[in-house]
């Protein structure tokens, strides 16, 4: 279930069909623990269907930190012909203990803020959590339609110890 912040703490959008990009690690990246590969793979495969049901225009950018990582994001942010209302940073990037991913996270957020200052910056906890993240900022999406297609909530812990 989505937890919404009450009051004026967040500048929410009334847009019901936002254009969103998810930036994250591929499901089989070495920094994603192997025991989560199938769950993450399945979630990423189903995510377009869930986002479509919610009325969200969605695209995925898989980043490869060992290859510079953000070129595809920069290209998407620079394409002013394509609407972009928000950037979701995946938990594999945000929740990982690897210092190189911390720098990548900072760069991704800074680039999005610089190149698309009106875009919302969001974070997920898993592929299904992407729908929750978008609903926090765009409460007019068809959340119930997406939830009807989704599995029960799951928690992914992507830090290697």
Task: Judge whether 69 and 31 are in contact, CB under 8 Å.
Answer: no
pLDDT at residue 9 in the model: 56
**pLDDT tens for each residue of 34-48:** 999 999 999 999 999
**pLDDT tens for each residue of 60-119:** 999 988 887 799 999 999 999 999 999 999 999 998 888 889 989 999 999 999 999 999
* pTM for this entry: 0.85
DSSP structural state of residue 19: E
Is the pLDDT at 139 greater than 80? The verdict is yes
**Alpha-carbon span 49 to 126, nearest angstrom:** 15
**Alpha-carbon span 155 to 107, nearest angstrom:** 26
Closest by CA to 50, choosing from 146, 152, 132, is: 146
* Number of residues written out for the chain: 161
Letter string b/e over residues 40-75, b meaning 16 or more CB atoms within 10 A of that residue's CB? beebbeebeebbebbbbebebbbbebeeebbebbbe
Q: How far lies 11's CA from each of 14, 37, 102, 106, in Å?
A: 10, 35, 26, 22
| Residue 82 neighbours by CB distance under 10 Å | 12
């Amino acid at each position: 279930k989505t937890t919404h912040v009450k009051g004026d703490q967040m500048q929410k959008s009334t847009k019901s069909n936002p254009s969103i990009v998810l930036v994250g690690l591929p499901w089989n990246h070495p920094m994603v623990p192997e025991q989560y590969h199938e769950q993450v793979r399945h979630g990423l495969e189903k995510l377009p269907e869930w986002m479509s049901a919610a009325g969200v225009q969605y695209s995925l950018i898989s980043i490869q930190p060992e290859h510079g990582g953000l070129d595809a994001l920069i290209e998407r942010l620079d394409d002013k012909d394509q609407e972009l209302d928000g950037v979701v940073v995946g938990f594999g990037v945000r929740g990982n203990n690897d210092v190189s991913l911390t720098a990548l996270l900072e760069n991704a957020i800074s680039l999005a803020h610089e190149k698309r200052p009106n875009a919302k910056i969001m974070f997920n906890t898993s592929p299904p959590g992407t729908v929750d993240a978008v609903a926090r900022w765009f409460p007019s999406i068809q959340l119930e339609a997406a939830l009807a297609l989704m599995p029960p909530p799951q928690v992914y812990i992507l830090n290697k110890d």
